[in-house]
Amino acid sequence: MRHTRAHTANRRSHHALKAQTLATCECGAVRVSHRACASCGRYRGRVVVDVAKKATAKVARKAKKEAATKK
């Protein structure tokens, strides 16, 4: 059954996107609420992500990938 434009618009009125709520971390960086900080790895006062370890792993993966492509 065909819907009129008004009924289609009424249905789509709930499809709007909402802006994410931003919070300020202890380190001063802006982060998304209820998420760990990307720059320091803290959430609610404790370290939950080891950012330094992730960075070294990323460099190692990149070096390994470059070495594989040179062969």
Task: For residue 36, give its domain range.
Answer: 19-70
Residue 18: pLDDT band (50, 70, 90) is very high
Counted domains in the chain: 1
Determine, yes or no, domain membership for 33.
Answer: yes
How many other C-beta atoms lie within 10 A of the C-beta of residue 37? Answer: 22
Determine, yes or no, domain membership for 65.
Answer: yes
What is the Cβ-side half-sphere exposure of residue 41, based on CA atoms within 13 angstroms?
9
Q: Which of 18, 19, 41, 17 is nearest to 29 (CA)?
A: 41
Note the pLDDT tens digit of each residue in 19-39. Answer: 999 999 999 999 999 999 999
Q: Is the pTM of this model over 0.85?
A: no
Determine, yes or no, domain membership for 7.
Answer: no
Determine, yes or no, domain membership for 45.
Answer: yes
